Amino acid sequence: EPEAMSSHGRGDSCFAVAVDSRPASTAPTPKVLEPQGPRFLVDAMAGRLGRWLRLLGYDARTASDEPDRVLVDLAVAEGRILVTRDRGLVTELRPDDCVVLRSERTSDQLRQLFVELGLRRREPSFERCSVCNVEIEPVQRARIRGRVPERIHRRQSIFWRCTSGCRIYWHGSQVARLR
């Protein structure tokens, strides 16, 4: 249940620090995630929702500004539920597995998904990178020296990294706030 730290310093409730993608050859083998319920394709209009779904352990790919037809085709090809606020997309293309969000507020969107799809509330699982949606894996403390703030390196003993190499995670005070 690591905490993430944002490299862009926007004051988000989670933070991440960039790291190179060299393999941590001495790190333990990452666990294989079992399917954790539905998989989502969240359009750009609801990108923050995608981040929250990832923090809760859902496979939630966030699409940027792809054309509507590409979004629908991608959702079908990958077996994902398309999550969008774009009513025009739904009216024109009529995707099979789709949730049209009614609110602009992330908390309301999350609540709507849980109600409409019958999902149960779960604690943040921190199994996926909150930014790129790939699994995270343990990494030895010595391997990330100089890649996290020194005070964090001194205080923390357990770290994880995104398997794509884009973020480093650790337990911290932000975890309690997320829960």
- Per-residue pLDDT reduced to its tens digit, 137-178: 889 999 888 888 999 899 888 888 888 888 888 876 555 555
What is the pTM for the complete model shown?
0.66
Q: Mapping DSSP to helix (H, G, I), strand (E, B) and coil, where does residue 33 land?
A: coil
Q: Using 50 as the pLDDT threshold, list the residues of the chain that sit under it.
A: 1-35
pLDDT at position 107, please?
A: 92
pLDDT at position 32, please?
A: 37
167 in Cβ contact with 129 (< 8 Å): yes
Short-list 120, 145, 148, CA closest to 58 = 120
Here the tokens at position 63 are 């699409």
pLDDT at position 15, please?
A: 30
Containing H/E element for 83?
Answer: strand 81-84
Short-list 174, 146, 143, 178, CA closest to 158 = 143
